[in-house]
Structure 1
């Protein structure tokens, strides 16, 4: 079965917003005058902003509501998103997206990020024209490692799962692709620490390795 659609995760695959979230959080901690240790911050990985804010209120006995803290953090994040010099696409990903697009491969974004963040990224880096659909896991009942987001993405592409490929960088995303029975290419980024690539069908650290002539052997 030939490859017809590629389902992209966003964070860690197309952009890396983690450093921006980190800066925004630490600026928020400063404003709240609390000292958050690295260990506590690390424990927030993958948690929703709401949960992080609730934890802070509990741990530091704060008077603010989680909505107030989340708003402060969001405002800082937005500021960094548009003004941080270092924030850019992950090297080689734009070329890969253009390569698939030129070769008639359908592209669907299947990310756990909110649609607001997805749209911000697409607008800033002019990606809209390459993708035929976007799904935010934040709108779904189940999140990765549940396969729902990728099954919906394949459906959106109008292709059976065996004609699709997922590009992921996290343990949960790889597991979700595996459960959806979709071929998964894991991108091993310098930023992704402690991720488990065991269930990925191929692991790459350079996007040139996912060009069609290289991956056609799997389909």
Structure 2
């Protein structure tokens, strides 16, 4: 079956917002005058902002609401998003996106991020013109490793799952693609730690390895 659509995860695949979230959280902790250990911060991985704020309130006996704390964190995140010099697209991803687009491959974004963050990324880096659809897992009932986000993305592309490929970087995302029965290419980034790639059909560390002539043997 020829490849017709590529379903991109965003965080860790197109951009890496994790360092920005980290800076925004630690700036927030300073303002709240609380000392959050590395272990506690690590335990927040993958949790929603609301959940993190509720944990902070109970652990440190804070008198702010979770909305108020989330608001502080959000404003710091926005500031870093637009002003942090180190924040950029992941190396090679723009070239890969353009390559697929020029070759008539449909591109769909399937991310767990909120639509607000997705739109901020697309606007800042001028990606809108390449993608024919975007889905935010934050709007869905189930999140990865549930396959829903990728099944919807395949549907949005108008292509059967066997003509699609997912690009993911996380254990949960790879498992979601596997459950959706969609070919998964795992991107092993310098930042991704302790992720399990065993269920991916191919693992790459350089996006050039996902150009059409390199992956034609799979499709």
> How would you bin the TM-score normalised by the shorter chain?
over 0.9
Give SS of 2:50's match: helix
Q: Which whole-Å CA distance do the structure 2 matches of 1:22 and 1:50 have between them?
A: 15
Q: In the TM superposition, what is the alpha-carbon distance from 1:54 to its structure 2 partner? A: 0.2
- Tell me what 1:164 maps to: 164
Q: In the TM superposition, what is the alpha-carbon distance from 1:106 to its structure 2 partner? A: 0.1
Give SS of 2:28's match: helix
- Tell me what 1:91 maps to: 91
Structure 1 unaligned segments of length 5 or more: list them: none
Runs of 4+ in 1 over 2 A off after TM superposition: none
- Tell me what 2:176 maps to: 176
Q: Given the two structures, how large is their TM-score scaled by the length of structure 2?
A: 1.00
Q: In the TM superposition, what is the alpha-carbon distance from 1:109 to its structure 2 partner? A: 0.1
Q: In the TM superposition, what is the alpha-carbon distance from 1:207 to its structure 2 partner? A: 0.1
- Tell me what 2:189 maps to: 189
Q: In the TM superposition, what is the alpha-carbon distance from 1:116 to its structure 2 partner? A: 0.0
1:150-179 deviation line (CA, Å, top 9, x unaligned): 000000000000000000000000000000
Q: In the TM superposition, what is the alpha-carbon distance from 1:137 to its structure 2 partner? A: 0.1
Give SS of 2:77's match: helix
1:55-101 deviation line (CA, Å, top 9, x unaligned): 00000000000000000000000000000000000000000000000
Q: In the TM superposition, what is the alpha-carbon distance from 1:185 to its structure 2 partner? A: 0.2
Q: In the TM superposition, what is the alpha-carbon distance from 1:6 to its structure 2 partner? A: 0.1
1:41-66 deviation line (CA, Å, top 9, x unaligned): 00000000000000000000000000
Give SS of 2:107's match: strand
Q: CA RMSD in A?
A: 0.2
Q: Which whole-Å CA distance do the structure 2 matches of 1:162 and 1:169 have between them?
A: 20
Structure 2 unaligned segments of length 5 or more: list them: none
